[in-house]
A and B are shown apart, each in its own frame.
Chain A
Amino acid sequence: EAQVTQNPRYLITVTGKKLTVTCSQNMNHEYMSWYRQDPGLGLRQIYYSMNVEVTDKGDVPEGYKVSRKEKRNFPLILESPSPNQTSLYFCASSPVLSGANVLTFGAGSRLTVL
């Protein structure tokens, strides 16, 4: 089944404790992206990647890091989480070269930073 898989789905952590949210897709998509969803603010893009070893900042990249060492994986790293990073996070992927442009989202990861 074609899908985007995120882990963990739920996480409660404390300020300053490094964490990684993994994202993996099995559709051979070139484009992958991370969003955070907060009430009244919609989906805001954190980082995106056009292909392996190519990443760029979205609108709200502060406090986050990403890497794209393999085409299928695009982990989101919070080096020193703070309470304002409490949010619902979505990973998404899309084919680029085919021109289809449809974003497929993961199920979401709800993060709480105390």
Chain B
Amino acid sequence: GENVEQHPSTLSVQEGDSAVIKCTYSDSASNYFPWYKQELGKRPQLIIDIRSNVGEKKDQRIAVTLNKTAKHFSLHITETQPEDSAVYFCAAALTDSWGKFQFGAGTQVVVTP
């Protein structure tokens, strides 16, 4: 089955700097890669996703890149702000079967003013 590894587990960045979180997956058939943000005491919420037919997707200050050959994808946050402090989870899924939805272990991002 699918296995998703996420690094780093914690990330401390200065406000205004960029943050990068990386994930690798094991099942080459996976074709959907979302990122979820979980603020303290809240539920996870989707912030961006990418499908296997594209290599990069941007939404304002966040972007996701996908390398299908290497089986890894990354989340990039530019110009970080204190409200970006949260736990971020990557995930991988196969939309054709849409059964198991495998999450990474999460990255605690702390943005210091």
A residues with CB within 8 A of B: 31, 33, 35, 40-45, 48, 50, 56, 58-59, 90, 94, 96, 99, 101-103, 105-108
Contact = CB atoms under 8 A, between A and B. Distances in A.
23 contacts: A33-B101, A35-B103, A43-B103, A45-B101, A45-B103, A48-B99, A48-B100, A56-B99, A58-B100, A90-B43, A94-B98, A99-B95, A101-B32, A101-B34, A101-B49, A101-B95, A102-B34, A102-B49, A105-B44, A105-B45, A106-B43, A107-B43, A108-B43
B98 A42 contact: no
A12 B100 CA distance: 29
B105 A40 contact: yes
Given A45-B102, A105-B45, A40 B95 contact: no
A90 B43 CA distance: 8
A105 B36 CA distance: 11
Contact of B101 (A40, A41, A48, A106): A48
B103 A42 contact: yes
Contacts of A31: 98
Interface of B: 1, 6, 9, 32, 34, 36, 43-46, 49, 89, 93, 95, 98-106
Contacts of A105: 43-45
Contacts of B6: 42
Nearest to B93: A101
Contacts of B103: 35, 42-45
A59 B39 CA distance: 25
Contacts of A33: 101
Contacts of A59: 1, 100, 102
Nearest to B97: A50
A44 B91 CA distance: 11
A59 B1 CA distance: 9
Contacts of B89: 42-43
Contacts of B46: 102-103
Nearest to A58: B100
Q: 10 smallest A-B Cβ distances: which pairs?
A: A42-B105, A105-B43, A43-B103, A42-B106, A42-B103, A105-B44, A102-B46, A96-B98, A107-B43, A101-B32
